[in-house]
């Protein structure tokens, strides 16, 4: 079993839709939870990160962490064609330096 599971998609939505991206994990030691966006042939770009449980909002993006269920989500409101990319969840424990990534979900937003 992988430490971080993420549905690879692809996920196709119309412009303006609310997008929900999710990851589950097995390691209860994870405390830092990150979301990256990766465009084709580019390096990942950090969108936002949270520590422990709770919600965090940044513009059209909202990250949620439910540690009791070992489940994290990223919501994108008013999705745009420019949001079409691969979204990677990532996690790290407090004492370590290794970041574990999910496989990424490919998102297509149709105009």
Q: Which of 10, 12, 29, 46 binds other proteins (CB under 8 A)?
A: 46
> What tokens were used for 57?
């909002």
Burial class (CB in 10 A: 0-12, 13-18, 19+), 4: buried
Q: Is 34 in the site for other proteins (CB under 8 A)?
A: yes
Q: Which of 12, 15, 26, 45 binds other proteins (CB under 8 A)?
A: 45
Using an 8 Å Cβ cutoff, are 100 and 4 in contact?
yes
Q: Which is nearer to other proteins, 75 or 101 (CB)?
A: 101
The helix (run of H) or strand (run of E) holding residue 61 is strand 61-66
Q: Is 84 in the site for other proteins (CB under 8 A)?
A: no
Q: Is 3 in the site for other proteins (CB under 8 A)?
A: no
- In angstroms, give the least distance from the CB of 50 to other proteins: 10
State the sign of the Cα–Cα–Cα–Cα dihedral 5, 87, 20, 51. Answer: positive
Q: Where on the chain is the footprint of other proteins (CB under 8 A)?
A: 4, 6, 8, 32, 34, 36, 41-46, 49, 51, 88, 90, 92, 96-104
């Amino acid at each position: 079993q992988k430490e971080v599971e993420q549905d690879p998609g692809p996920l196709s939505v119309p412009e303006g839709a609310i997008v929900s991206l999710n990851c589950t994990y097995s390691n209860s030691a994870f405390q830092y939870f990150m979301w990256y966006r990766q465009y084709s042939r580019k390096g990942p770009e950090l969108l936002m990160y949270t520590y422990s449980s709770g919600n965090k909002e940044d513009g059209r993006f909202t990250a949620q962490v439910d540690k009791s269920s070992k489940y994290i989500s990223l919501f994108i409101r008013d999705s745009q064609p420019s949001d079409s990319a691969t979204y990677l969840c990532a996690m790290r424990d407090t004492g370590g330096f290794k970041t574990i990534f999910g496989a990424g979900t490919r998102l297509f937003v149709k105009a």
